[in-house]
Amino acid sequence: MVSLRQPQRVTPKVLDEPSGQARARADFEEIPTVLPKSGDVLRVTKKASVQFIEPMLFRVIRMHDWPTYDGWAWLDGYQLNAAGDAVARRSIFVQLAGLTYGRVGAVPAQTRFRTTVG
């Protein structure tokens, strides 16, 4: 089972109102993590894994529940071109924190055709 990363402790500097001096305050900051599900389109870059020097769009078929390192997962899906067409089926091993949702570009108006029915 894939577990999400725990919140990290950050210590931002905060100004004291009366004295104007900086002091440290400990807070917890949630790190947003994409938890992919079937049908999601993801943008996979080298933040997800060093093998993805060239970013790609990826449509998820499923996320495996295989045991892996904390914050990593195996995904099955299709590599997409700019129009959103599947060009290859792939299984990829990625860091969940490095994934972002992608968007498939719209088909340009000049490539759409009207047809008359009837």
Model pLDDT for residues 7-53, shown as the tens digit of each residue: 444 444 444 455 555 444 444 444 557 789 999 999 999 999 999 99
pLDDT at residue 78 in the model: 97
Count of the separate structural domains present in the chain: 1
Domain membership flag for residue 49: yes
pLDDT at residue 118 in the model: 65
Torsion sign, CA atoms 45, 49, 50, 51: negative
Given a cut of 90, whether residue 117 has pLDDT beyond it is: no
Domain membership flag for residue 2: no
Residue 89, domain extent: 33-103
Domain membership flag for residue 94: yes
Q: What is the mean pLDDT of residues 101-115?
A: 65
> CA geometry: angle at 39 spanning 36 and 45, to 5°?
55
Task: Yes or no: say if 70 and 51 are a contact pair by the CB < 8 Å rule.
Answer: no
Domain membership flag for residue 57: yes
Structure tokens at 101: 């949702």
What residue has token string 């993805």? 52
pLDDT at residue 11 in the model: 43
- The SS3 of residue 87 is strand
Domain membership flag for residue 76: yes
Domain membership flag for residue 8: no
pLDDT digits (tens, 9 = 90+) for 72-98: 999 999 999 988 999 999 999 999 999
74: which strand partners?
Answer: 93
- The SS3 of residue 6 is coil
Domain membership flag for residue 71: yes
Task: Yes or no: say if 101 and 40 are a contact pair by the CB < 8 Å rule.
Answer: yes
Domain membership flag for residue 26: no
